[in-house]
Amino acid sequence: MLQTDVVIIGSGIGGLSAAALLARYGFEVIVCESHTIPGGAAHSFQRQGYTFDSGPSLYSGLSRSPSPNPLRQVLDAVGEELPCATYDTWGCCLPEGDFATSVGADQFCEVLARLRGDAAVTEWRQLQTLMAPLKDAAVALPPVALRWDWGSIRTVGVFAPSLLRHALQVAQLTGDFARLRDRVITDPFIRNWLDLLCFLLSGLPASGTSAAEVAFMFADWYRPNVTLDYPLGGSGALVDALVRGLERHGGRLWLNAHVEQVLVNQNRATGVQLRNGKTLQARRAVISNASIWDTLKLLPPDSVPRSFRQQRQATPACDSFLHLHLGIDASGLSDDLPCHFIVVNDWNRGVTAPQNVVLISIPSILDPSLAPPGKHAIHVYTPGNEPYALWQHLDRRSPDYAQQKHARAEVMWQALERVIPDIRQRCELTLIGTPLTHERFLRRHRGSYGPAISAATGLFPTGTTPLEGLLCCGDSTFPGIGLPAVAASGMIAANTLASVDQQLTMLRQVGVMR
């Protein structure tokens, strides 16, 4: 029977962040990953010379240090570099028309002036004025300072002067962003635009998205000389950097290691049972990077109170995804083609409506190594708005499944045709992923992208559980469904097991504490 200090279930970004940081703290760590490759929803895969991202395509705060992005902070803590291409412009295909827009404080005002006139520009400026002090408040307490025990009194206390300076603003960051938006924004286009940004952040419109999440986004995107990032090598390069950090500090990653059950002894999580029959004992803790719904399936029936199980099981979930991965002939395409596009078909349907929002990523524009010479790798997806119920009754090997895949993918083809009109003639490789693909390969409950907890009605669960020795990380434990949020959750889990002095040393290393 093998023993280690900490067992981590799942090698998503949250699990790898926790594992790499724990290894850097000196813990003996083993990550058990069910899949043949690490990364969870952020892994990359190869087909016929193309490298495709399976999930996220939009990154920021990774190409500079110190950075407020918790993911960059993890990389800094474990001493790993991540070369990135930078850019500042993406394309928008909206009901009002097609245009390019940029991160930064001013360019969007030019778009507003053209589409909506001076009154809309005035409202946007008023929103920027409102958000300016809230941006500073949103980064006054970096998530890397948090932990799930009383040691947080010391680690958070380091930032007390900053928190006191922003006390009034911090109070405004509780609740949903719609309360702030409604103070100054009446223009329907800006309201729709903000709903779209919120949906991309949290899977919910402004009425459900945390004001703190939006303030953090304003701090990151609407500052001077800002750029967006793309890891050279794709999202797999990011995963590889975390794995290198884990292994360089003595941690281990086990692939094809499917966890069947968390072992419990005397009301404490003591390890895991693998599908292959092996038992792995954990001297200090088990950390689950599975979703909260999938984590509950791993626990013995009476290991946690029924009320906890029922409460977490009832956590509302975002819908799932459709994916279209394409390899195309790129000859004759403009050199100025943006690498990302956001397509909205109908504002009146709402941004969360099925197949209403489509995202397009052409990362080989930034990193030609992702495709053969003269080709492009393209990833088109409907982000968290594909109902699982449409798929749950289908057999993946059936003609009905194949027919529905092609029918439901049509909206993605149509979105892409707004960018590359002859895309169907250029296509050399076509792969379609569905909610059943998500469920099968990512071990995700109903193929969901994560919790859809409204900031107006509830708080996100913490990473703690009633079962001693069991912590959780990932998108079920920290507001926001993107990579910064899951990296933050992993850091907090690791910090909770480390000593306060170890964490304070790490805070100095990543540049958030002097």
**Phi, psi (degrees; rounded to nearest 5) at 114:** -75, -40
Task: Name the residue with higher pLDDT: 20 or 90.
Answer: 20
Residue 441: CB atoms within 10 A of its CB come to 19
Q: What is the pTM of this model?
A: 0.95
Residue 404 CA: distances (Å) to CA of 93, 397, 401, 423, 447: 26, 12, 5, 21, 17
Tokens at 234, concatenated = 């794709």
Return d(Cα 330, Cα 99) in angstroms, integer: 21
Q: How confident is the model at residue 221 (pLDDT cuts 50, 70, 90)?
A: confident
Q: How confident is the model at residue 490 (pLDDT cuts 50, 70, 90)?
A: very high
- Out of 173-177, 193-197, 382-386, 457-461, least confident range: 457-461
Helix axis angle, 13-25 relative to 70-78, nearest 10°?
Answer: 40
Ordered structural domains, the chain, with CATH: 2-46+67-83+232-316+453-509 (3.50.50.60)
Q: Going along 289-347, which residue ranges are E strands? A: 320-329, 340-344
**317 beta partners:** 451
What one-letter code names the amino acid at 337?
L
Return d(Cα 283, Cα 261) in angstroms, integer: 17
Instruction: Give the DSSP H or E segment for 87.
Output: strand 84-87
pLDDT at 459: 66
Handedness of CA 114, 199, 59, 405 (dihedral sign): negative
Q: Is residue 60 helix, strand or coil?
A: strand
CB 95, CB 345: distance < 8 Å: yes
- Out of 97-101, 241-245, 396-400, least confident range: 97-101
Tokens at 314, concatenated = 């009832």
CB 460, CB 451: distance < 8 Å: yes
DSSP conformation class of 176: B
Q: How does pLDDT run across 349-376, given as a tens digit for each residue?
A: 999 999 999 999 999 999 999 999 999 9
Return d(Cα 379, Cα 412) in angstroms, integer: 10
Residue 395: CB atoms within 10 A of its CB come to 9
